[in-house]
Structure 1
Amino acid sequence: MFTRTPARRGRIGALLLTAALTAGLTACGGPDGSAATTDSAAAAGEKSAGFPRTIEHHKGSTEIKAKPQRIVALDNSLVEAVVALDGKLVGGIGAYRDQKEFPPYLGDAVKDTKDVGPLESPNLEAVAALKPDLIVSATVRHDDLYEQLGEIAPTVFVETTGPLWKDNITLLGKALGEEAKAEEKLAAYETRAKKIGDAINAKEGDPTVSMVRFLDGPTRIYLRKTFSGIILEDMGLARPKNQQDPELFNLEISEEQIAQADADVIFYSSYSGGEERKEKFFANPLWKRLTAVKNGAVHEVKDEIWMTSVSLQGADLVLDDMADIFEVDPAK
């Protein structure tokens, strides 16, 4: 019978330990460094992307330890911003206002994204079940939920959406570690907007433009601080004198105040019961006196694009519409 001496047992133990360590190294990359190098590269990638990082936002500051891989966005504008920056969106608000699901122009980017709506009262249990590593929303939407959301995952809040939609993309770029992509995409949009606007101004002789929205309530003229207003401004299109205030969001008008919408070109949309109000306006003799109406320069546009998308994707679709309406180069 073979009997192990203590010394021999010690040597065997050392050999077994060496073998176990070698196997472990091989599984993680071993001497050739394959997987080990991958782990090191991942760690280096996180460090080079500036993570962990602290994001200053409307509700304070939030530390994000690593580049987010499971993002939940609780506003439709922020859903589209995350998609524009190629973020990994696991949950978001899909059904928004008259929409029943995520907008079709987002395509496969949201095919596996869980709808955690409705916007007014997102399902926090559904959010938590997705195990997000970043939640984004807006104070104007969910101010009272900020603390609860912060207990689920690191949470970043923008103040609002419409007037700040471009600033929000920049902020999300920081939170996602995609600052360069955010800057590049915003610059591409602004360049395209200016090209189309310059072409329209050259062709039409610097026309003034109005944006009217018919609602089940006061009819509104949307001004320079709105989503569509910012796009028109980025295009370099002029507004009538009564629509120049850079701080006002909209003008609410009655049928007797139709003249405030007067411009060389009028765009209009309808939302939630606004069709009936629109017909009343159109039947009013004051409407028929407007410059754009007399010249056949009134154009209906999609409310879900011009009003509620509030995104880079929506802005590009607005630019598509403008190029088509005025028959100029779409600058794509």
Structure 2
Amino acid sequence: MARTIGAVTSALALLALAGCSQETPLTTPDGSPISTVTTRVAEVNIVNADRDLTQTCLAPTAPDPGVADVARIVVTDPALLDDVCALGLGPKVTAIAADGAVPTYLGPQLGAVPVIGATPDARAADQADPDVVLTTPRTEATAKSFGDAHVATVASGDGWQERFRSVAEALGRTEAGTRLLDEFHTETAKTGRRMDAAHNQVSLVRFTGDSEMIAGTDTFAGQILAEIGIQRPAPQRTPSSFTLTDKNFTDADADLIYVSFQGERGLAHGKEVLLDDRWLDMGAPTWKRVLSVDDEIWYQTSGLAAAWLVLNDVKGSLDGNS
């Protein structure tokens, strides 16, 4: 009987300790918190591994003089959410009338907005109660679900900067849109000068589930690097992306390589390549000048909010790795 009581007591003590360990963050002996964020993948450091997504969206902007402010916005195309985020209007979005998830990088503010589907029912539409439905030609049919609400259709095929200007105009913020783009252009120019970007050659490699691709200059990340003034290796100065093969594998090399992974399969394949002798024998890997970036932010989206994240990734990593 004593042994049974002792065993129960020990078990309760272990449970109590387990409960405490879940509530109390890990610390060093001096009380400093221990980070549990993954900071490396296949011996490659991750840029901004502990990124604070609550800071993605910019400060709220004011409407143009004499223009009545929008109060409640419904967005039917997720591609426009970045623009709304950059204008600081996330709190005004009452629903996302589309299929699929909100991009993670936009943070908890937009991540908490109800996603009511591309064919919302009457109840969901009534709860959203928008005074403006922000849409694109591709998703314009969804706007009919919101009755008499004003529909602002934004052309989406002229590049992310023109799309941002169109969204700003549709939401009564033409002046703010122009100012925000000017501020970004000013900062990219300053960054390029400070980092001597013209004398840095940077490679962009994306891992898919079964291949390695060089990101072209027309990709979102390619455009941001070009605006900063960063050079690409000669084989990578093409608008279109291309797949690496045995014959052109070393085209991936540069002063610094930014790698990214398309989904879980891309991550699994990328880990294999990053630890392979053929990769490790190139110059940048030999000198530990390879960094991992977020594929969603750098390639799978576009917009001013994402552009600032890419720029800040570069500002925080190029100096010490090129």
- The residue matched to 2:204 in structure 1 has which SS? strand
Distance 2:275 2:112 in 1: 46
Alignment partner of 1:73 out of 72, 75, 78: 75
Q: Does 1:319 align with 2:311?
A: yes
- Structure-2 residue corresponding to 1:159: 156
Deviation at 1:322, TM superposition (A): 1.6
Give the greater-gyration-radius structure (CA).
1
Match status 1:299 vs 2:299: no
Measured in 2, the distance between the counterparts of 1:245 and 1:327 equals 25
Letter in 1 for 2:129: K
| Alignment coverage as a number of residue pairs | 250
Tell me the equivalent position of 1:195. Answer: 190
Tell me the distance in 2 between the aligned counterparts of 1:149 and 1:302: 32
Alpha-carbon distance, 1:112 to partner? 6.2
Unaligned runs of 5+ in 2: 1-62
2:231 to 238, 247, 268: 238
| Aligned equivalent of 1:20 | none
1:269 aligns to 2:256 (yes or no):
no
For the residue of structure 2 that corresponds to 1:239, the secondary structure is coil
The equivalent residue for 2:273 is: 281
Question: 1:217, CA displacement in angstroms?
Answer: 4.4
User: What's the secondary structure of 2:84's corresponding residue?
Assistant: helix
Matches within 5 A, 1:37-52: 48-49=66-67
Which one has the bigger helix percentage? 1
CA 1:325–1:123: 2 relative to 1, 3 Å: same
Contact 2:204 2:258 in 1 (8 A): yes
Given that 1:149 and 1:155 are in contact with CA atoms closer than 8 Å, whether structure 2 keeps it comes out as no
- Are the aligned partners of 1:211 and 1:221 in contact in 2 as well (CA < 8 Å)? yes
Q: For structure 1, which runs of at least 5 residues remain unmatched after alignment?
A: 1-44, 50-65
Residues 279/195 of structure 1: CA separation in 2 closer, same or farther (3 Å cut) = same
Q: CA deviation at 1:95?
A: 8.8
SS, match of residue 124 in structure 1: coil
2:218 aligned with 1:225: yes
More RCO (CA 8 Å, sep 6+): 2
TM score, norm. by length of structure 1:
0.64
1:132 & 1:255 partners in 2: Cα distance?
A: 54
Alignment match of 1:215 (pick from 201, 208, 217): 208
Q: Take 2:104 and 2:97, find their aligned partners in 1: how far apart are those partners?
A: 11
With over 3 angstroms needed to count, the CA separation of the structure-2 counterparts of 1:93 and 1:297, relative to structure 1, is farther
Change (3 A) 1:215 1:70: same
Q: Which amino acid aligns with 1:277?
A: H
> Shift of the alpha carbon at 1:298?
0.8
Question: Post-superposition shift, 1:296?
Answer: 1.9
Q: Is it true that 1:253 corresponds to 2:238 in the alignment?
A: no
Taking the aligned partners of 2:195 and 2:65, their CA distance within structure 1 comes to 46
- Secondary structure in 2 matching 1:268: strand
Aligned residue for 2:206, secondary structure, equals: strand
- 1:5-24 deviation per Cα after TM superposition (whole angstroms, max 9, x unaligned): xxxxxxxxxxxxxxxxxxxx
**2:73 corresponds to which letter in structure 1?**
I
Structure 1 pair 292–127 and aligned structure 2 pair: CA distance change class (3 A) = farther
What is the DSSP-based 3-state SS (H/G/I as helix, E as strand, rest coil) of the residue aligned with 2:196? helix
SS in 1 for 2:238: coil
**Of 142, 147, 172, the match for 2:141:** 147
Question: Matches of 1:186 and 1:175 in 2, distance apart?
Answer: 16
TM-aligned CA deviation for residue 183 of structure 1: 0.8
